[in-house]
Every structure is written in C-alpha cells, then in structure tokens.
Amino acid sequence: MRLIRKIDDDGNSILHMVGRKRKHRAAEDMRSPALLLQEDLLLFELKRTAENCSIVAVLIATVAFAAAYTVPGGPNQSTGSPIILNQPFFEIFTITDVLSLAFALTSVVTSLSILTSAFRLKDFK
C-alpha cells in the first residue's frame, strides 16, 4: 500500500507505471483474430502438403530401392555380377538410382519433421 501512495519526480505513481508497461505489452502481444486465422490456415495447408509429399517420396524411395536390387539386364548366372557391368549405361543407371534414393529419403525425413513438429508458425520460419 505504501508504493501506491508514493509519487516519483515526474508526478507518477506506481499505477501510472503499470499502465504504461501494460500498454507496451498489449501492443506487442495482441494480434487480430484474422491474423491468427491466417496463420492457422497456412499451417493447415503446410501440413496437408507435407502429408502428400511424404507419400510420394516414400513411393519414389521404394522404386529406387527396388531398382538397385533388380539390375537391368539381370545377373550373370555363373558369377552373380550384372551382365551390363562394363557398359556406360550401367554407370549412369547406378548414379541416377543412388541420387534418386538419396533425394527421396531426404524428402521423407523433411516431410516427417514437418508433420511431427509442434505446429507453431515460428517453428516453420
């Protein structure tokens, strides 16, 4: 109760100071409902996009993984190595298959990290 009666050099009491501090906080924290709704809509769309991208990325990764084990031309029956091992097409196939698998798995991890986050806008910025 003593602080309420005290007045500083400018003629302000503690209630004046609380009012000023409250006004500054209100300006920082208050957002319009339209802005909050817009942020929620953005997060909802980002979640739906991440779900679709993760499905497509898993399918691409599955195909790339299967292609690595079913080599074009098939294996040599006596040695087990691919028949087209010494051809330039096989090197191109191997490089593109490894790249597609790496990019697809990176996309899966990114999509899953978006889906498992706390759904706050500042997490996505």
Domain regions of the chain by residue span: 1-30, 33-124
What is this structure's pTM?
Answer: 0.58
In a 3-state reduction of DSSP, which class is residue 79? Answer: coil
pLDDT in tens, the chain (125 residues): 666 677 888 887 877 777 776 554 544 556 777 777 787 777 777 788 888 989 999 999 999 999 888 888 888 888 888 889 888 888 999 999 999 999 999 999 998 888 887 656 555 55
Is 6 within 8 Å of 13 (Cβ atoms)?
A: yes
Three-class secondary structure assignment of 76-100:
CCCCCCECCCCCHHHHHHHHHHHHH
pLDDT attached to residue 10: 81
Residue whose entry in the numeric block shows the structure tokens 């597609």: 100
